[in-house]
Amino acid sequence: MKIDPESRTLQGLTTFILFVVVNILYLLTCLPVVTIGAATSSLYEVMLRYADHERGDLVRGYLAALGRNAWRGTAVAVVLGVPAVMLVFSGVFWLSMSSVLSAVAGVLAVIGACYVLAALQYGLALVGWFDAGLRRTLHNAILLPAAEPARTMGLLLLPVAAVSILYVAPQTVVLAVTIGCSFGAYVSTFLLHSVFRRRQADPSELEPVSPHSGQ
């Protein structure tokens, strides 16, 4: 039997396997915890590139991006991730109280956490897709949720939906371990591409940046 390497079925199977390999690599490189920022920005980088006309090698591209994004990805994760975690815990604490003032404080903390988490997503994606300094990356990441509210809502709903599915159907953890992170990042790149292209065409108050030289 002759196998046609150009067949869509074979190409689809190959892509699926590559997504699984990248997903497992991502989870493994997140295990030290301090590397989560670098790993996530690298995952965004290869998926943004793949979503842009299927360019780049997923596995080798991810491994190469880890070293390239190590410093900025970690810095963005610390600068935006720590406040986000603090706001989440603050929101949970205040909402556990019974007074009206604590409820208001809890709601404000949750809203703030959502904003900072969205900025964190943008920041890590900016690290992977653009060649810019840390200050400029953080500046743009903090402004983008306010500049793109509709797309930001979509970016936030994707992980919320994934966590909700895991909570309702714990058996889907198998999908999360095998392909969930890489596929989720791939889906989110369509929103990210839309945001980045709109901001490059009309930068308004955002600081201009150039595409990553690794692309």
Residue 110 located in a structural domain:
yes
Kindly state the helix (H) or strand (E) to which residue 130 belongs, with its residue range. Answer: strand 130-131
Residue 209 located in a structural domain:
no
For CA atoms 38, 39, 42, 43, give the dihedral sign.
negative
- What is the C-alpha separation between 208 and 190, in angstroms, rounded? 21
Two tokens, residue 51: 């979503």
Residue 54 located in a structural domain:
yes
List the domain range (segments joined by +) for residue 145. Answer: 8-202
For CA atoms 126, 130, 131, 137, give the dihedral sign.
negative
Residue 186 located in a structural domain:
yes
Residue 40 located in a structural domain:
yes
Residue 167 located in a structural domain:
yes
- What is the C-alpha separation between 68 and 32, in angstroms, rounded? 18
C-alpha pair distances (Å), 149 with each of 22, 124, 161, 165: 30, 18, 18, 24
Q: Are 143 and 116 in contact (CB under 8 A)?
A: no
Residue 1 located in a structural domain:
no
Residues 6+ apart with CB under 8 A from 144: 118, 119, 122, 152, 195, 199, 206
Residue 212 located in a structural domain:
no
Number of domains present in the structure of the chain: 1
pLDDT tens, position by position, for the chain (215 residues)? 444 455 567 777 888 999 999 999 999 999 999 999 999 999 999 999 998 776 668 999 999 999 999 999 999 999 999 999 999 999 999 999 989 999 999 999 999 999 999 999 999 999 999 888 899 999 999 999 999 999 999 999 998 888 888 889 888 888 888 999 999 999 999 999 999 888 776 655 556 555 665 54
